[in-house]
């Protein structure tokens, strides 16, 4: 999930040409509830992501009805590095992205900087505006297939798209995700295995994508419980 300074990403439903697409599983994340992901690096607590889901209230953006909205924040700190982020994402009723906004500040090795990104999706492509100080860059990209969103450091996106995949997902299952900070980011899963996290039965997968790989654990309801990439570990806090 971690790319550039860290990353975040994942999903796609593969089907046979004449077979009807399977219905997506129930959404395990409840609107109005605040969820917490704890970040650890090399065993030391370094950060936290908070996120919640809201009803889209029938808003219309780019000609598409907003079914859902997520709001999230990240506070990450370890010696020499401090990251803070605010994330807002609007989705259609099928959890495909419509609008993504990210405000980010970073202090790394004595360098301080900030960045804002806005990405607007339609059925054929995405338009992205990136602002760094007085510098603004606008770009447009075509999309070859429907994608799920996987913004950098946005754990809520992993939570959403992993909840949409089959339970369990078959070996080699491919998730088409898009990261506005870097571009298309398909993720492939290994064969599933059953493991327990803090006494909770989970399905574990290794995953790989362009330039990174790791391991994830998803519980029987479809909630991401644990994410590991190198020395970075992110776990769902359940109180």
State CA 47 to chain mean position distance: 17
Q: DSSP class of residue 25?
A: P
pLDDT tens-digit readout, 119-130 = 999 988 999 999
**Domain 35-237 CATH (choose: 1.10.357, 3.40.50, 1.10.260, 2.50.20):** 2.50.20
pLDDT tens-digit readout, 54-63 = 998 878 887 8
Predicted confidence (pLDDT) at residue 3 exceeds the cutoff of 80: no
Global pTM?
A: 0.86
Give the confidence band of 8 by pLDDT, cuts at 50, 70, 90.
very low
Q: Are 96 and 107 in contact (CB under 8 A)?
A: no
Predicted confidence (pLDDT) at residue 238 exceeds the cutoff of 90: no
Distance (Å, rounded) from C-alpha 14 to C-alpha 4? 29
Task: State mean pLDDT over 208-217.
Answer: 94
The residue extents of the domains of the chain are 35-237
* Average pLDDT across the chain, whole number: 89
Which two structure tokens, joined as six digits, stand for 59?
């808003």
Distance (Å, rounded) from C-alpha 103 to C-alpha 226? 25
Distance (Å, rounded) from C-alpha 131 to C-alpha 84? 16
What is the secondary structure of 128-165 as a DSSP string? EEEEETTEEEEEEEE-SS--EE--TT-HHHHHHHHHTS
């Amino acid at each position: 999930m971690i790319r550039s300074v860290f990353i975040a990403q994942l999903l796609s439903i593969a089907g046979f040409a004449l077979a009807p697409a399977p219905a997506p599983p129930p959404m395990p994340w409840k609107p109005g509830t605040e969820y917490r992901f704890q970040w650890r690096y090399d065993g030391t607590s370094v950060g936290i992501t908070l996120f919640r889901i809201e009803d889209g209230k029938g808003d219309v953006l780019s000609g598409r009805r907003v079914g859902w909205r997520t709001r999230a924040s990240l506070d990450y700190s370890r010696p020499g590095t401090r990251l803070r982020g605010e994330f807002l994402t609007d989705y259609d009723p099928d959890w495909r992205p419509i609008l993504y906004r990210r405000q980010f500040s970073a202090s790394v090795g004595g360098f301080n900087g900030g960045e804002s990104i806005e990405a607007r999706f339609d059925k054929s492509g995405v338009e992205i505006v990136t602002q760094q100080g007085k510098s603004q860059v606008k770009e447009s990209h075509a999309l070859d297939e429907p994608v799920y969103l996987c913004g950098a450091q946005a754990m809520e996106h992993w939570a959403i798209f992993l909840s949409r995949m089959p339970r369990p997902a078959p070996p080699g299952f491919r998730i088409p995700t898009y990261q506005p900070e870097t571009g298309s980011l398909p993720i492939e899963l290994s064969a599933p295995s059953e493991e327990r996290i803090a006494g909770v039965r989970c399905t574990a997968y290794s995953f790989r994508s362009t330039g990174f790989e790791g391991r994830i654990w998803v519980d029987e309801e479809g909630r991401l419980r644990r994410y590991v990439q190198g020395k970075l570990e992110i776990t769902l806090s359940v109180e």
